[in-house]
Every structure is written in structure tokens, then in C-alpha cells.
Amino acid sequence: MAKKKGEQYRCDECGLVVLVENPCDCGEGCELVCCDVPMKPVKAPAKPKK
């Protein structure tokens, strides 16, 4: 799971949302875990068409 500044992750169990401020650069594919379950990326809302 690549984490970049500004990405958001959500826990499906409790609803906690994490915003990445300082991304990890360890290169080992670390995970964010909450409630013993890996958190899922929050998809950005679609931009409105003009």
C-alpha cells in the first residue's frame, strides 16, 4: 500500500478516517491497520462536469 501525502484511509469497522501528512518511505509496503483490519483507501469524489 503506497501512502502519499493527502491520501485518506478509512476503517470499515469503526469509520475512523486517517489523512496522510508524512508519508512512509520505507519501501516495504507497510499497512495502516485499525480494529485488527487493514484500512482501505478513500476514493476521491468525482469532479463535476462543466
pTM for the predicted model, two decimal places: 0.73
Rounded CA separation 12/18 (Å): 12
Rounded mean pLDDT of the chain? 84
More confident residue, 50 or 5: 5
1, pLDDT greater than 60: no
Cell of 19: 489523512
AA letter at 9? Y
* Local confidence band at 2 (pLDDT 50, 70, 90 cut-offs): low
CB neighbour list of residue 18: distance below 8 Å, 6 or more residues apart: 8, 9, 10, 32, 34, 39
Reported as a single tens digit per residue, the pLDDT across 17-38 is 999 888 877 767 678 899 999 9
Q: Report which DSSP code applies to 37.
A: E
pLDDT at site 46: 59
